Chain A
Amino acid sequence: MKLHQMGIAEVFARLNTSRNGLRENEVQERLLDFGLNEIKKSEKKNYLWEYFSQYAQFFAILLEVAAVLSFVADYYAPDEGNNILGWAIVCAVVINATFTFWQEYKADKAMEALLRLMPSYIKVVRNCKEQEIESRYIVPGDIMVLEEGDKISADAILIEANSLFVNMSTLNGESTPALRIAEPETSCERELEADNIVFAGTSVISGNGLGVVYATADGTEFGKIATLTRDVQKTLTPMQKEIMRITQILTLIAVIMGVIFFVLGYFSNKGILMAAIFALSLIVANVPEGLLPTITLSLSLASQRMARRNALVKNLDSVETLGSATVICTDKTGTLTRNEMTLKEVFLASGETVTLSGEGYFESGGFQLQQVSNHSLERLKHFMRVATLNTHAHIEHEKLFGDPTELAIIVAGKKIPHDINGFNKINEIPFTSERKMMSSFYEKENVSYLFAKGAVEIILNKCTDYLNDHGLEALSDEKKANFLAVAESYEARAFRVLAVAEGQDEKEENLTFLGFVAIMDLPRAEVYEAIQHCYEAGIRVMMITGDSPGTAKAIGQMIGLKIDKIITGDQLRRLGEEELMDELKQSDILFARMESSQKLLIASLLQSNGEVVAMTGDGVNDAPALRKADIGISMGIAGTEVTKEAADMILLDDNFSSIVSAIEEGRTVYFNIKKFVTYILSSNVPEIVPYILQFFLKIPLPLSVIQILSIDLGSDMIPGLALGSEKPEENIMKRQPVGKSERILDWEVFKRGYFMNGIFEAMAAMFGFMAFLYLHGWQYGDLSINQSLLHRQAMTMTLLGAVFCQLLNVWTLRSYEFSAFSMGFFKNKLLLIAMVIEFVWIYMLLYVEPVQRIFNTAPVPPGDLLILLPFPIMLFLTHEFYKYKKRRKSLLK
């Protein structure tokens, strides 16, 4: 037997306490036995340590070694610009480390938000006296005093309760205050459902009571949520893994090439220093220094676009993870539905059906009545009068007051004009969950009226007749069964049905049945389309709701949800995990009558199945599941502070279709990153090839290291960013989700970057260099021109060869699939700005002296620049032709 099922005396005995409370020495002993009533926070991070550890990453170490070598080279061979190179690399390292740190170590405030729900002080009875103590000193066996407005700090069995209402939303998401009683709940098995328990983290709305504490700290239900929120292990996002992988691969290539050419240089009698400088140059040429900042900036631009579409992304990596989402687990109320009750139909006892238009509380609308006689409208008006007079709800200045179901009746009353003048309210019998009905007593011109509404079966049992076309008629059992059958047909379609009746007695007896209203929290209009988009995009949608299977199924069908199976919370508890994993793999499941805590299990098992899970939530109890999911999505309007802190993304309008928009943006970001990685790799080839050729041929250095950095951290950055902000391609939501095994840096990226566009760029660079030298009288093998004006001009040609090619490369890479001409010239404004900046940059390299000094460039006659012109055009046309062939191939498939 559980404590909440026992009588008060037994509870006292089991907890070794009494109504007079514990004695001070007992409290001290129990504090040692059970510990303080505190929930441990996450271990504090040492931010300074974390920041400096970024400098110990493999990629960073590589660049640091390169910087040191540059300074060493500058010491032995000053005035060759190696010190500038060293400082440029140091800057790249600092920028990369700061970006990574900023990404990974943002303060985790979910626990702080949770702990704010716990009170600092609480009243207890100890040694027969009521006293206020710090809530962390409360122990099992303490008698807790509960008063209106109190926050509760431990789980307790109630021994006294006077109209005690508690806000339990932190634990079960229900915003309606729950009535608590002090009677043993003998038939209730589960603690969370027992009405004689109050839980830590909840608060007293009204009334007062006394409770005997039986669990403190992480032993409480709230403690479990907090522990899970703190401890749930989140795996690295696909983007984090991908960045690690890309840097590892590119660094490995860089190091291998560096080592090979260092060895070759050493054995070809270039000397250790020259060989080291040469190897260093190759490494710098290979390492994409600008990659990380560009990705971060691109993600941050995407997150701004998402915010404009009502999805506020907290964690930048989540932007890309959204694009990989394969399953969306969504709540029903407020996300798929409007969270506004709407009275859609009125069924009059005389058989007429009235359909109302306009959804929610603020949309205007009218009604359509299927008349059976001339008196139908009169009866409808009378029905609405009875229904609206028997409510508490009201709407003032667009502010809502009262129960949502009653608000729906009030709104319907505005759509069906009726007269309520002259009615004076005398009395009322309120609604209770036991009675399942409420009645109001009115008087008009000395005549008393009783207006009643409530559950259909309850009201019908109190009715003796009903109002039909000819007046009052006795309510036979057969007729009653007919009315019940009609009501059930509405309930099967997810409507909440309320019967309306009237009488003239003071008792709720011998009533006249007038009909009933069918009210529903209607699905949001845009959800159907959004769900179909998900299916087209290969994303499964699973509804997880606390509602009954019938209601959930009906709503599911209305919004076009695929439902292979319905699993309830109870069934889930009994199901083996392997069995559930199989079900989750094969079927589209609707989860009904679920507890929020079960979301965590569903998220874990879906992840074990290899799915990328997006999970929505609003209550505090959803926080662990949001943490666990690959993308935790909190509701912006209905969500609590805790869920918002625990989530990766906040839906500002609580609307499911905003998730789908966010996924579209996420996918766009993935493909955009792929595009600019290709773009960055393309410029690596003209940076590497000149070094290799210089090693094997008797030519002066075609490109200096500082010029390489001017490409990587200068001219490539803004066009790269512009590629990152490309708009979604038209078929983005018709593609399958990005698989876990799919990589940004795949063979296609290498092929297009290194072996297609990169080769043209290398050709442009080297042809420009060699042609310029030959045109100006240079003889093969003459190395005496080193650092002369001619050499600097030729190096400028090499640099511009790469930069010119990148100018058109960025246009053709705007889509991996579609023609550049179909992408719309003015659609990407950042790209146009990038073009202007690029031309200004080229002008500066050619004609501004301080820039020339830093980057070792010199003015080149404009006529000579024409030598470079064919290469960007060839690059552009070849890549366009390649895309065309690819499109044709996929069309034939």
Chain B
Amino acid sequence: MKVAVAINGSLIAEGAAIYAMQYASQLDSRLEVFHIQNPGDQIELVEASISRLRSMAIEKDIHLEVTSIEGEPVSELLRLTKVRHIDTLFCSTRAKKQFIFENSVADSLSRIRKRACHLAVVKIKKINSVYNCQKVGLFGRKGPPDIVQFNLGIGLTRSYNAGLVLGNSLNITQKKWENLAIHNKKNLLRKSDRNFKPYCNICQMMGTPFQIAHMLGEWNHKEIHDYLLSRKINLMILSVTHLPFFTSQLFKNKSENIFHQSPINCLILYPGDKGS
């Protein structure tokens, strides 16, 4: 498995690179750093960033390979990930879209359906949490996380020596939940947690502290904010399921909505199309 990151000399790109490095260190993989030169890029900032990443890589005993080329960022990144057989590409994204037609590389990459590698788009809210992370939360899906999301989650959790929180959305309304007796609530939780057993077993085998976070009904960003901040989670990892083309045009993706409104550092995973 190979991990890569796209950088441009910005602080948030460096943050994404550090997450990528942490993940790579767990996979014993080398880290490929791609810089697709843009006319607006400040080369001295990129070089300073690469130099800092190099020294961190040496500390972590990771082989860092830097590729700096000119070209159109999205197509070049797609080409590089394909020819280098990259498994997961990390890419940072800005706070929010300023203009509707702004050319965001992460956004364009995420909309490409036939992408060979998984794409992890990173949003940095707090620089300090990039260097330190005590709790990682996997949220955003009904039922247990998919295996790619879990792999990324457990990888980052272990590399930070942190705890893992697995989000479990219960199929019950607030009203019904309130009317349940305590023992029935516990039974419901246990029953619902059964699907998480394989993941819990893996965490136990690896000695990673974990817990399951329960939420009622559909996830919404307010409920998740409440949970993330009251439990002091430093990094949230979300996963997106590709919606059919027409549906995706009509409805906002819930995970993306949570991602954009996240008050903490957040990473959203777009699974790759392994067939392409």
Not counting A16-B48, A219-B264, a sample of 16 additional A-B residue pairs whose C-beta atoms are within 8 angstroms of each other reads: A2-B131, A3-B127, A14-B52, A14-B127, A15-B11, A26-B45, A33-B92, A35-B94, A223-B263, A224-B229, A231-B221, A231-B222, A231-B225, A585-B182, A601-B231, A628-B226
B179 at the interface (CB under 8 A from A): yes
Which residues of B sit under 8 angstroms from A274, Cβ to Cβ? none
User: CB within 8 A of B12: which of A33, A191, A585?
Assistant: A33
B10 at the interface (CB under 8 A from A): yes
- How far is B92's CA from A235's CA once the two chains are assembled, in angstroms? 37
- How far is B29's CA from A82's CA once the two chains are assembled, in angstroms? 84
Binding site for B on A (CB under 8 A): 1-4, 13-16, 25-26, 29-30, 32-35, 140-141, 191, 214-215, 217-219, 223-224, 227-228, 231-233, 235, 573, 576-578, 585, 597, 600-601, 604, 608-610, 624, 628, 740-741
Asked if A218 contacts B211 (CB within 8 A), the reply is no
Asked if B222 contacts A1 (CB within 8 A), the reply is no
Asked if A235 contacts B230 (CB within 8 A), the reply is no
- How far is B226's CA from A227's CA once the two chains are assembled, in angstroms? 8
- How far is B185's CA from A3's CA once the two chains are assembled, in angstroms? 42
Q: Mark B211-232, 1 if CB is under 8 A from A, else 0.
A: 1000000000111011001111
Shortest B268–chain A CB gap in Å is 17
B195 at the interface (CB under 8 A from A): no
B178 at the interface (CB under 8 A from A): yes
User: CB within 8 A of A32: which of B94, B222, B229?
Assistant: B94
Shortest A349–chain B CB gap in Å is 48
Q: Mark B56-68, 1 if CB is under 8 A from A, else 0.
A: 0000000000000
- How far is B211's CA from A573's CA once the two chains are assembled, in angstroms? 13
Q: Mark B117-147, 1 if CB is under 8 A from A, else 0.
A: 0000000111110011000000000000000
Which residues of B sit under 8 angstroms from A217, Cβ to Cβ? 125
User: CB within 8 A of A13: which of B52, B98, B182, B185?
Assistant: B52
Shortest B56–chain A CB gap in Å is 10
Asked if A191 contacts B230 (CB within 8 A), the reply is no
Asked if B128 contacts A16 (CB within 8 A), the reply is no
Which residues of A sit under 8 angstroms from B185, Cβ to Cβ? 608
Asked if A227 contacts B225 (CB within 8 A), the reply is yes
**Known pairs A228-B225, A231-B225, A741-B179; A29 contacts B10 (CB<8 A):** yes
B257 at the interface (CB under 8 A from A): no
Shortest A581–chain B CB gap in Å is 9
Which residues of B sit under 8 angstroms from A218, Cβ to Cβ? 125, 263
B95 at the interface (CB under 8 A from A): yes
Asked if A610 contacts B182 (CB within 8 A), the reply is yes
Asked if B126 contacts A215 (CB within 8 A), the reply is yes
Q: Report the nearest B residue to A30, measured CB to CB.
A: B11
Asked if A34 contacts B95 (CB within 8 A), the reply is yes
Asked if A228 contacts B229 (CB within 8 A), the reply is yes
Which residues of B sit under 8 angstroms from A604, Cβ to Cβ? 230
User: Which residues from 148 to 205 on chain B have a C-beta closer than 8 Å to any C-beta of chain A?
Assistant: 174, 178-179, 182, 185, 189
User: CB within 8 A of B226: which of A32, A33, A232?
Assistant: A232
Which residues of A sit under 8 angstroms from B52, Cβ to Cβ? 13-14
7 shortest A-B CB distances, which residue pairs?
Answer: A35-B95, A219-B125, A219-B126, A231-B222, A218-B263, A600-B230, A231-B225
- How far is B227's CA from A232's CA once the two chains are assembled, in angstroms? 9
Can you list 30 A-B pairs, Cβ within 8 angstroms, ordered by A? A1-B132, A2-B131, A3-B128, A4-B128, A14-B52, A15-B11, A16-B45, A25-B42, A26-B45, A29-B10, A33-B92, A33-B94, A33-B95, A34-B12, A34-B95, A35-B94, A215-B126, A215-B128, A217-B125, A218-B263, A219-B125, A223-B263, A228-B226, A233-B226, A235-B178, A577-B211, A600-B230, A624-B229, A624-B230, A741-B179
B49 at the interface (CB under 8 A from A): yes
B96 at the interface (CB under 8 A from A): yes
Asked if A235 contacts B174 (CB within 8 A), the reply is yes
User: Which residues from 1 to 48 on chain B have a C-beta closer than 8 Å to any C-beta of chain A?
Assistant: 10-12, 14, 42, 45, 48
Asked if B226 contacts A576 (CB within 8 A), the reply is no
Among the interface residues B174, B182, B211, B230, which one has the most CB atoms of the partner chain A within 10 A?
Answer: B230
Size class of the B contact interface (CB-based, 8 Å): 35 or more
Which residues of B sit under 8 angstroms from A29, Cβ to Cβ? 10
- How far is B96's CA from A235's CA once the two chains are assembled, in angstroms? 31
Shortest A342–chain B CB gap in Å is 37
- How far is B94's CA from A609's CA once the two chains are assembled, in angstroms? 40
Which residues of B sit under 8 angstroms from A600, Cβ to Cβ? 230
Q: Report the nearest A residue to B129, measured CB to CB.
A: A219
Which residues of B sit under 8 angstroms from A576, Cβ to Cβ? 211
- How far is B45's CA from A16's CA once the two chains are assembled, in angstroms? 8
Shortest B162–chain A CB gap in Å is 13
- How far is B263's CA from A228's CA once the two chains are assembled, in angstroms? 10
Asked if B10 contacts A33 (CB within 8 A), the reply is yes
- How far is B132's CA from A232's CA once the two chains are assembled, in angstroms? 26
Which residues of A sit under 8 angstroms from B128, Cβ to Cβ? 2-4, 191, 214-215
Among the interface residues B12, B52, B221, which one has the most CB atoms of the partner chain A within 10 A?
Answer: B12
Asked if B263 contacts A219 (CB within 8 A), the reply is yes
- How far is B260's CA from A35's CA once the two chains are assembled, in angstroms? 12
- How far is B128's CA from A4's CA once the two chains are assembled, in angstroms? 9
Q: Report the nearest A residue to B14, measured CB to CB.
A: A16
**Known pairs A13-B52, A32-B94, A34-B12; A233 contacts B131 (CB<8 A):** no
Shortest B266–chain A CB gap in Å is 11
- How far is B231's CA from A604's CA once the two chains are assembled, in angstroms? 11
Q: Report the nearest B residue to A226, measured CB to CB.
A: B263
- How far is B226's CA from A624's CA once the two chains are assembled, in angstroms? 9
Shortest A193–chain B CB gap in Å is 14
- How far is B184's CA from A608's CA once the two chains are assembled, in angstroms? 12
Which residues of B sit under 8 angstroms from A223, Cβ to Cβ? 263
- How far is B48's CA from A585's CA once the two chains are assembled, in angstroms? 55
Which residues of A sit under 8 angstroms from B42, Cβ to Cβ? 25
Which residues of A sit under 8 angstroms from B223, Cβ to Cβ? 233
Which residues of A sit under 8 angstroms from B14, Cβ to Cβ? 16
Which residues of B sit under 8 angstroms from A2, Cβ to Cβ? 128, 131-132
Q: Report the nearest A residue to B51, measured CB to CB.
A: A13
Asked if B131 contacts A227 (CB within 8 A), the reply is no
Asked if A233 contacts B126 (CB within 8 A), the reply is no
Which residues of B sit under 8 angstroms from A214, Cβ to Cβ? 126-128
**Known pairs A33-B95, A140-B11; A215 contacts B127 (CB<8 A):** yes
Shortest B169–chain A CB gap in Å is 15
Q: Mark B86-107, 1 if CB is under 8 A from A, else 0.
A: 0000001011101000000000
Asked if A609 contacts B182 (CB within 8 A), the reply is yes
Asked if A3 contacts B131 (CB within 8 A), the reply is yes
Shortest A236–chain B CB gap in Å is 9
